[in-house]
Structure 1
Amino acid sequence: MSTIEMHEAAPDASAHHALPDPGEAVPRIALPTVGIFLAALTAFVLSTTGYISGWAPVWVTIPVNAAVTFVMFTVVHDASHYSISSTRWVNGLFGRLAWLFVGPVVAFPSFGYIHIQHHRHANDDDQDPDTFASHGKWWQLPLRWSLVEYFYLKYYLPRARAADPSKRLPRRCCCSP
């Protein structure tokens, strides 16, 4: 099986595991994902302006915008796998724009690195950055889930310091190509 080598703008993992080739070429542009992005963006704009203008009640706006956050993660996920477009910067653009709705605390390139490490080390308690979400007493889990940025930074920062200085934390704003 061939492999896809990811060229992240983040540090390499200490134990590198190649990602399997899914066997399908990345399209020039994945219209379903672009459609999801545009539909979610439209829903957000309509519900938010509707609330501000007074024609959409809060009990409509909050669930719609919560659904937008959930749906935008699909776009972020696809962008972190570079599967929205065969043109690399298009993935970065959609990922960064969708990320603003999902979790603007950790930058999209950092999330992309962390997510790929999750796939490389799935269910490895020492290397999988997502183990915090399921390892703990049942009553601690909601608190852990609410602290996702803390756990991601705890995973990312030690690896960023050991990397090439040019690959440390992003130096430009989250919207830079």
Structure 2
Amino acid sequence: MTSEAEGLAVLSYLRKPPLVSWPAIFLMLAGHGGTILTWVLCLKGIWPLWFGGIVNGIMAYLLFTPSHDAMHRSVSSLPWLNELVLRISTALAVPFGKGHFFRVMHMQHHRFTNEENDPDHTLASQFKMIPLWGIWPFLYIITFAKNPENFPGLKPKEVWTELAIGFTIIGAFFLWIPLEMFWLWLVALYIGFFLMCLVFMVLPHYPHTVRESDDPYRASLIRKGHEWLLTPVLLYQNYHLVHHLYPTVPFYLYGKAWKAREAFHESNNPGIVPAFGLGAKD
């Protein structure tokens, strides 16, 4: 086999979902485990509520990666396990929801990256929108409500029913323990969603001017350098271009997927950004 053939073979293997993505399962358990522990410590008065809100925000950020992989069905080759992880990982935002709403909206982003129909584009491409980064799921709801016909994969009745059930449960908890819910749920989710927006929507596509349909190798970016730091902090989204090229590759294999055909990838003039820079070099 030639090196090119070997690279293709490796990439083909990496694109197949594993039986179980244990890193995704670990992040899901760590995220929920950390959230539960934070609630216990705050309710016992060991931690102040404001500190618990910060910790829970980080836990919410961790939970987005398993939910994101589950949206792409790359957590497992077992369909039921993918759906279970998606439900559990998105439960903090919408209790008892399926997560299907988030999946359809995210697929729209992949289909129309950096275009008008990209549900992330307006929010992520304008710095004046920074205060809204922490509420992007609610902006998804508004986007859907305005033009449900743009999302044929979603049934309005099902969406509104899930949201009604979820917000009823959340509302009941607010009536019971309002101060705790404010810090440990509302503030925490704002922090978590803000980090998700920054890491998954803003930095990987900045300056948001190249459309996926025009040049898929420059619509998303590779953040090169200091991988020892950025890879764990960004949960592999420093390789976000890999995700857009090969959406079914599990997050922890992005680097291997890039290196499997590195010469080929680099021959396509990919968007590469310095570790702490903004915007790809020409």
TM-score (norm 2): 0.46
Look up the match of 1:104.
Answer: 94
Distance in 1 (CA, whole Å) between partners of 2:24 and 2:72 is: 13
User: How many residues are treated as equivalent by the alignment?
Assistant: 149
Q: What do the CA deviations read for 1:41-78 (whole angstroms, capped 9, x no partner)?
A: 11111111111122233354222111111111111111
**2:140 pairs with 123, 129, 152, which one?**
152
Partner of 1:3: none
Tell me, in whole angstroms, the C-alpha distance in 2 between the residues paired with 1:95 and 1:148: 18
Q: Rate the CA distance shift 1:150–1:36 in 2: closer, same or farther, 3 A.
A: closer
More helix by share: 2
> Where has structure 1 moved over 6 Å in runs of 4 or more?
none
Please state how far the C-alpha of 1:86 moved relative to its aligned partner: 1.0
Alpha-carbon separation, structure 1, partners of 2:152 and 2:162:
20
User: After superposition, where does 1:1-12 map in structure 2 within 5 Å?
Assistant: none
Please say which of residues 114-123 and 153-162 is displaced more in the overlay.
Answer: 153-162
Distance 1:53 1:97 in 2: 26
Please say if residues 161 and 168 of structure 1, whose CA atoms lie closer than 8 Å, have aligned partners that are also in contact.
no
Aligned in 2, Cα 1:173/1:32: closer, same or farther, shift over 3 Å?
A: same
Aligned to 1:66: 57
Provide the residue aligned with 1:56 in structure 2: 47
Contact 2:75 2:82 in 1 (8 A): yes
Structure 1 match to 2:84:
93
- In 1, Cα distance between the equivalents of 2:69 and 2:138? 23
Say if 2:144 and 2:151, in contact at 8 Å, map to a contact too: no
Amino acid at match of 1:24: R
Match for residue 118 of structure 1 among 109, 112, 122: 109
Relative to structure 1, the CA distance from residue 36 to residue 135 in structure 2 (aligned partners, 3 Å threshold; closer, same or farther) is: closer
Out of 28, 52, 73, the position equivalent to 1:37 is 28
> Pick from 155, 159, 181: which aligns with 1:168?
155
C-alpha displacement of 1:147? 4.5
CA shift for structure 1 position 36: 0.9
**Matched position secondary structure for 1:86:** coil
2:67 alignment counterpart:
76
Q: Please state whether the residue corresponding to 1:141 is helix, strand or coil.
A: helix
Q: Bigger CA drift: 104-113 or 79-88?
A: 104-113
Cα–Cα, structure 1 residues 162 and 52, in superposed 2: closer, same or farther, change >3 Å? closer
1:47 counterpart = 2:38: yes
The answer for unaligned runs of 5 or more in structure 2 is 1-11, 166-282
Offset of 1:132 from its aligned partner?
1.7
TM-score scaled to structure 1, two decimals? Answer: 0.70
Show CA shifts across 1:100-138 (max 9, x none): 22x3298621110110111121112x22111121344x3
